[in-house]
Amino acid sequence: MPKLTIARSDFGWTFSAFAAVGLSGLAINQVIATQLGVTALGRYNMLLAVVIIGGQIGAMGIHSSVLFHTPKARSDGTLTSEVVCSGVLATIVTSTVSTLSIYIGGEVILRSVDNFYYLDGLRAVAIGLFLFPINKTLLAHINGLQRIPTFSILFSGRFILLAVSAAVATYNVDNDQFLPWTITIAEGAIFVGLILANRSEIAGLSQWRNFRKMFNRHLHYGRKGFLGTTLLDLNTRLDIILLGLISGTRSVGVYSIASLFAEGLYQAAMVPRYNFDPVVTSLFVQDKIGELQETIAKAKRRIYLVALPVVAICNLLYPIIVEFLFSKELSDESWPVFLILSLGVGLSAGYIPFTNILQQSGFPGHQSLLLVAMTITNLALNIALIPFFDVKGAAIATAVSWVSIIVYLRKLSNPILGFKV
């Protein structure tokens, strides 16, 4: 098999996608905060967090199985159509169970506390909550095939649609009752796009001989990696949820501004991951551990050389940009939060693209252990610090959890790969 390479054009596509995601997130927050206020922004981000975490639960790790088995199938010469079709069917089953559980449980809890805003919001996002895991599985297959331009367009398309929908939903209105529907609209549109992008493989499934075997393999692999993949998304939204529960929606709104920019930095460091994931699997399957180690070491050096100066520049520009887009009050309140979060990104930047390496090497259980450790760190620090330091406490907790993954990843990777990542 020829040596695997990652084209510069693929990096360009992935970087452009994440740039579009970042700009879309900025547009969403700016439109909602300026049109409807910081409290409305906090409520929207709480609902979005529920969809992302609930959708991850509904995926049951099957999207990770599809991402692992797609390049593996290409290396083995087996049908990738069986991988995606069985994965989608399995995800439909798990997403149905998850969505119904969250919907029914949410109805009971929200009615009991007379929270009718979130009750209406839950009803509005229900279909989007169901489609989110299916979209993750279809997108993972495209990523596994290394169709990076298609992956980049559809990945960023979700957030572009959210931004456009949010602008329409807040135009000339004085409340945020239509905002939750934008999430369902975006997921529905992306689902159609993903079906069209995968149509040749879905329509080309002519052999069902290994379909049941692959279906069961997805469930088995997904079950082992479920905790890890769920915690990965939970860890990115844990600060938002705990702030909402402990400090209230206004704190969530203020924190969301800083978190938006910090997450942009984090996602920029994450860009290479979507190019490396299928390559990691292929190199590991072919037992090219030396080449894998060399690839990772070179990438880490280059990422740190870029990341640290970028973090410094962003901290100089942050108050100017936020004051221009939002207000001086929000700039003053959120800048210390951004400083803390951005330091966490800068210190962990070289490891961020490889947070999924244990999963892609065929060890989803170890991946779960990695993310359990990271999430426990985040959860404990958030609970300890938010009551005393509010948004700054949440920022410290999240930043420390990002840096802690360096220690956890190096410890867990050595026995599996034969070297410390």
**3 part of a folded domain:** no
Quick one: average pLDDT of 119-146?
94
**Residue 388 lies inside a defined structural domain of this protein:** yes
Task: Measure the CA–CA gap between 285 and 283, rounded to whole angstroms.
Answer: 6
From 128, 143, 232, select the one nearest 187 (Cα to Cα).
Answer: 128
- Is residue 286 in some structural domain? yes
DSSP letter at 113? T
Q: Say what the pLDDT of residue 150 is.
A: 93
Q: Coil, strand or helix: which one is 361?
A: coil
Tokens of 124: 């509005």
Distance CA 128, CA 181 (A): 9
pLDDT for 7: 57
Residue 168 forms part of a structural domain: yes
For residue 2, is it within any domain?
no
413: in domain: yes
Percent of the chain with pLDDT over 90: 49
Is residue 173 pLDDT above 90, yes or no? no
Q: Which tens digit of pLDDT belongs to each residue from 16-56?
A: 888 898 899 889 999 999 999 988 998 998 899 899 989 98
Report whether 420 contacts 410 (CB < 8 A).
Answer: yes
* Integer angstrom CA distances of residue 354 from 53, 118, 339: 21, 36, 24
| pLDDT tens digits along 305-364 | 999 999 999 999 999 999 999 999 999 999 999 999 999 999 999 999 888 888 777 787
Q: If you compute the radius of gyration of the chain from its CA atoms, what whole number of angstroms results?
A: 21
Residue 1 domain flag: no
Model pLDDT for residues 184-236, shown as the tens digit of each residue: 999 999 999 999 998 888 776 666 667 778 888 898 888 877 877 777 777 77
> What is the share, in percent, of the chain residues with pLDDT greater than 70?
95
pLDDT at 75: 65
Q: Exposed, middle or buried, 198 (CB in 10 Å: 0-12/13-18/19+)?
A: buried
Going by C-alpha positions, the residue among 174, 172, 145, 142 that lies closest to residue 155 is: 142
DSSP 352: G
Residue found by looking up tokens 């400090």 in the block: 247
Q: How many domains does the chain have?
A: 1
Which of 13-17, 128-132, 156-160, 299-303 is predicted with the least confidence, judged by mean pLDDT? 13-17
The DSSP line for 266-308 is HHHHHHHHHHHHHHHHHHHHTT-HHHHHHHHHHHHHHHHHHHH
Residue 2: pLDDT over 50: no
Segments forming the whole domain that contains residue 118: 8-417
Side-chain-facing half-sphere of 231: CA atoms under 13 Å: 25
Using the predicted structure, report yes or no on whether residue 247 has a pLDDT greater than 50: yes
DSSP 61: T
Residue 20 domain-assigned (yes or no): yes
Comparing C-alpha atoms, which of 414, 378, 385, 369 is closest to residue 399? 378
